[in-house]
Structure formats: structure tokens, C-alpha cells
Amino acid sequence: MDEGLVEHISVNEIPDAKQWLFMLNESMSHEDFTTVVVSLWAIWTARRKALHEELFQSPMTTFGFIQSYLKDLQLIPAKVESKVEASRSTSSTKMIRPPPSFMKINVDAAVLRTGTRGSVSALCRSEQGVFVGASTRVIDGVFDPAILEAMACAEGLSLAQDLQLQRICLASDCLEVVQSVMASSMGKYGIIIKEIKARKAAFDEVQICHEGRKNNTEAHMLARNAVSDVVGRRLWLLNPPDHVPHTISFDE
């Protein structure tokens, strides 16, 4: 396999298998992630056959199957992919409108491809869809997706304080974290949840809700672009970051 891909896999030391895959999915391109998953599946299948059926195949045979399967996947009609991309582009600037008199803050997180650092982002728009402010934070040594998603919610509150807001609707596409905030979970990121609960008291009202990735594209791209920046925090108060429109139409 490509040496860069192998190195990227090797630095991912998350012990939980599900979270390990989630981190790879977040930090890899779709093509690379597909290659990894198909390879793991093929190796697992070969191992199962050897252990339970006493059918042994050479590494070259397994490798040949992987290459053949990946080529078959590439034969899927291009128009299917183009429809997916068209759907993404259509909804790329769509956010769900906040309740009346509330400001909307969408948050998200990203992991560097090498798995050595992560980033969080927050982007605020008014009830009319006008850009109000945005922030990003790059953290060295933190690459667990769930922990970063929790930190993104905390970053959303920091942005709200920078903008001196009092009534905010904070939206994340990570259902696990949103449920943890509502239930005061004390899991591996419990201290961050505790901080979020305490900081909510500084506002008149804070609504925290879950929204799908298609409604969170701006914050996602902001985090993805920031993850390669220098470690630290950036803040936009007047003009939006590159590739972020000043005004959008909300998805009703």
C-alpha cells in the first residue's frame, strides 16, 4: 500500500475500533478511506477462511482481490456521483433558520490527515442569514473526533461571548455530543460538557440542537480549512473567512 497511507493509519492510536474508523473517515479522502476499508475487509476474510475453513491464500492473492474490487467500484456510473455532488453543492450554503430573536451558531471539528492535531470552528449568522462572526481553533495533540466535537460546542459559546450575544441557537452535526450536553454525560469528554453547562448560565438563553451534515457545510469547511493552520485561535468579526458568503438563504 502507499507509504503515506500506511503512515497515516499507523499514527491513529485510538483504541476503540469504531472511533478509529471514524477518525480515518474524517481525516482521509473518500478514495483513500475506501481503499483502507476494502483492504481491512479482504485481510479479515482471508484470516477467517484460514482459521475456520483451513483455506489458505497467499498475500499476493489477497492483494489481487483488493485491486480487482476497487476497480469494480470505479465502474459505478459517473452520473450517480455527479448527482450526489450536485446535491451537495445545492445545499452547501443552506442552514436551518434559528427561532425568532436568536442568533445561529453552527460548529464543527476536523482532524489533520496525519492524525496529529485537530481543529474546531464556529460560524454565526443572524436570523436573516447575515454573517455576524466566525472563529477557529487549532489544537495540537488532540485528534479524537468526539472530543473535538465537544470542544467545538465550547468554541461556539466563546464566539457568542466575543460577539456579546445573549440568545443563541448552537447547532452541531454530532448527535452524540448534543445528547451528552442534554444529559450531562461524564464520559471521556465529560469535563468539556461540564464546562459547557456552566458557561450557558452567562447567557439569557442557549438552545443546543443537532443538525445533519448537509445543514452544517459552512462550519465543516471552515474547520477543514483551518486544520492545516498554525496552532492557535483565529477570529473574524467584520468580514467572513474566504469562501464564506456574507449572506445566505436559510433552509426553511
Residues sharing a CB contact under 8 Å with residue 89, sequence separation 6 or more, in sequence order? none
CA angle 160/95/25 to nearest 5° reads 90
Share of the chain above pLDDT 70, in %: 90
Strands 167-172 and 103-111, by their bridges, are: parallel
Alpha-carbon 39 to chain mean position: 24
**Cα–Cα separations (whole angstroms), residue 82 to 13, 67, 70:** 35, 24, 19
Are 212 and 227 within 8 A, CB to CB? no
pLDDT over 90 at 172, yes or no:
yes
Q: Domains of the chain (ranges plus CATH)?
A: 3-76 (no CATH), 103-236 (3.30.420.10)
| DSSP-assigned states of every residue in 1-15 | --HHHHHHHHT---S
Q: Which residue is listed with cell 445543514? A: 215
Q: What's the 3-state SS for 161-204?
A: HHCCCCEEEEEECCHHHHHHHHHCCCCCCHHHHHHHHHHHHHCC
pLDDT for 112 equals 83
pLDDT for 85 equals 46
**pTM beyond 0.75:** no
Express each pLDDT in 208-230 by its tens digit: 999 988 889 999 999 999 988 99
- pLDDT band of residue 82 (cuts 50, 70, 90) is very low
pLDDT for 6 equals 81
Taking every pair of Cα atoms in the chain, the longest distance, rounded to a whole number of angstroms, is 67
Handedness of CA 48, 53, 59, 64 (dihedral sign): negative
pLDDT over 70 at 196, yes or no:
yes
Q: What is the mean pLDDT of residues 57-80?
A: 80
Q: What is the mean pLDDT of residues 68-90?
A: 61
Alpha-carbon 211 to chain mean position: 12
Are 93 and 248 within 8 A, CB to CB? yes
pLDDT for 69 equals 87
Are 169 and 107 within 8 A, CB to CB? no
- pLDDT band of residue 195 (cuts 50, 70, 90) is very high
Express each pLDDT in 103-138 by its tens digit: 999 999 998 877 788 999 999 999 999 999 999 999
Mean pLDDT of all residues belonging to the chain: 86
Alpha carbons 213 and 219: distance in angstroms, whole number: 10
Are 218 and 131 within 8 A, CB to CB? no
More confident residue, 233 or 94: 233
pLDDT for 185 equals 62
pLDDT for 29 equals 82
Alpha carbons 205 and 139: distance in angstroms, whole number: 28
Are 42 and 62 within 8 A, CB to CB? yes
pLDDT for 235 equals 97
Are 154 and 107 within 8 A, CB to CB? no
pLDDT for 146 equals 87
Cell numbers that stand for 7 in this block: 503512515
